Amino acid sequence: MLLPLHQKSILGNLYGSISTHVDIPRLVNLAMKEDLKLDKLISKKFKLEQINDVADAMVKRQIQGRWVCSWD
């Protein structure tokens, strides 16, 4: 690697640049008031009984978007 020769460095972070104690409760409050439209982010919902089929689809890279498991 030539990173040290070019005075380059690799930086990482956890949770991006959010403040978890401030931003997570704020996002939860927005979701509870329905000001944060989480339903628009979900591509498909499936039941727990279908989890094996969903896992197979993930292995085959057939899952697109965000899928949510329904527990009821």
- The 10s digit of each residue's pLDDT in 43-71 is 889 999 999 999 999 899 988 888 899 88
Q: Are 69 and 47 in contact (CB under 8 A)?
A: yes
> What is the per-residue pLDDT for 20?
86
- The 10s digit of each residue's pLDDT in 16-32 is 788 889 999 999 999 99
- H or E element: which one contains 42? strand 42-47
Domain residues of the chain, as ranges?
4-70
**Predicted confidence band of residue 3 (pLDDT cuts 50, 70, 90):** low
> What is the per-residue pLDDT for 4?
67
